[in-house]
Amino acid sequence: MTFSLVSAWNRRRRSKSLDAFHRWTLKPPEQLQLKDQSSSLGRRNRSLVFTLKEMEEATGSFSDKNLIGEGGFGRVYKGTLANGEVVAIKKMDRRPSKKQADGEHEFRVEVDLLTRLDHPNLVTLIGYCADGMHRFLVYEFMPRGNLQDVLNGISNLKMEWPLRVRVALGAARGLAYLHSNSALGIPIVHRDFKSTNILLSEYFEAKISDFGLAKLMRENEDTYTNTRMLGTFGYFDPEYALTGTLTLKSDVYAFGVVLLELLTGRRALELNQSTADQNLILQFRNIPTDQKKKLRKLIDPEMARSSYTMETITMFVDLASRCVRIDSNSRPTMSQCVKELQVILYASMKA
């Protein structure tokens, strides 16, 4: 009796969460019932719309000295707006084709939605520019750059263990917020969570960037590309890779990969290694969490031995290994990850 009640409740819960997922994937942005959030929003409640001229003025006509990075969607420039605010401006390479007159509308609606997100662990999307064929996204500027560069020693900054756990917790909180209904009334899947999309503030607070970007680009492309994989090698949820079904748990998988990057200081995919050593996850899967000796070998040698205890490392690895489980249903939710990381951070600070 108890069993059937529990399983009925589980079924209801599952169908509810599936509902939420389908609403998220299928509903065009125009039909979303947005709550009036003006009272609950912090800094901004609507996007700023810029002209191409304003983008040029902010970046010194996209001068190379303002170039701060380049990714799959285009180049990123440091810029200063007319009001003096320092920003990061992403100049999108892919432009909408002429036949997609509606693409522009969708772009605006989507960006408008994304600018309503307000959380200390999300990079603030300040606004956008959709001038003619040009597309730009304007973000708050993050002075310490991306997590991967810091872990790889490119930015000459050292991160000891408690700071790494704090960054993991911040990123987990950002993802949990995206996954909750509290953001826009529907859960949002990031789709491209990875260490280069975790940016660091001056005080090393983690903020997630590029949320919704993959979706935004997909909506503007031809429909056949809907079957194209979105995301980055090294972070793909195996279930998504096999079936094309993207769920909140796809982000949890990618989060697990980032936890391993924090632990090892290595990249998710290292193409300069031998084939057997290229993929961080494949290497990690072979090590049971109770084998401390082998675990020790995984730990980033850049971290001072005095900055961590094996107890907190084991807790962290245990969480990471559950996040990257092949079966998506047995991965934790992001809010569970937040709870566990709070405990790990507390234990790491005490040590």
Ligand X SMILES: Nc1ncnc2c1ncn2[C@@H]1O[C@H](COP(=O)(O)OP(=O)(O)OP(=O)(O)O)[C@@H](O)[C@H]1O
Annotated binding site: 91
197 binds Mg ion (CB under 5 A): yes
Let me know: does 229 contact 120? Beta carbons within 8 Å.
no
**In angstroms, what is the minimal distance from the CB of 43 to Mg ion?**
21
Question: What are the E-state strand segments in 146-205?
Answer: 198-200
Task: Please report how many Cα atoms fall inside a 13 Å half-sphere around the Cα of residue 223, on the Cβ side.
Answer: 1
Size of the site for Mg ion (CB under 5 A): 3
By a kind-dependent CB cut-off of 5 to 8 A, residue 193 interacts, out of ligand X, Mg ion, none, with none
Q: Which stretch binds Mg ion (CB under 5 A): 64-72, 171-179, 249-257, 283-291?
A: 64-72
Binding residues for ligand X (CB under 6 A):
68-73, 76, 88, 90, 123, 139, 141-142, 145-146, 192, 196-197, 199, 209-210, 232
Give the closest residue to 165 by CA, choosing from 341, 309, 296.
341
Instruction: Give the span between the Cα atoms of 129 and 78, in whole angstroms.
Output: 15
E strands present in the chain: 48-49, 67-71, 74-80, 86-92, 125-131, 134-140, 198-200, 206-208
Nearest to Mg ion of 24, 73 (CB atom): 73
Binding residues for ATP: 91
The CA distance from 75 to 85, in Å, is 20
**Binds 331: which of ligand X, Mg ion, none (CB < 5-8 Å by kind):** none
Identify the CA nearest to 316 among candidates 204, 166, 209: 166
* Partner from ligand X, Mg ion, none contacting 69, C-beta within 5 to 8 A by type: ligand X
- Closest to 184 in 3D by CA, of 246, 102, 103, 112: 112
Q: How far is the CB of 146 from Mg ion (least distance, A)?
A: 7
For ligand X, give the closer residue by CB, 71 or 238. Answer: 71
What is the set of active-site residues?
A: 192
Shorter beta-carbon distance to ligand X: residue 19 or 93: 93
User: Smaller CB distance to ligand X: residue 73 or 211?
Assistant: 73
Q: Which does 139 bind (CB under 5 to 8 A by kind): ligand X, Mg ion, none?
A: ligand X
- Rule CB under 5 A: is residue 148 a binding residue for Mg ion? no
Residue 6 exposure: Cα atoms within 13 Å on the Cβ side: 3
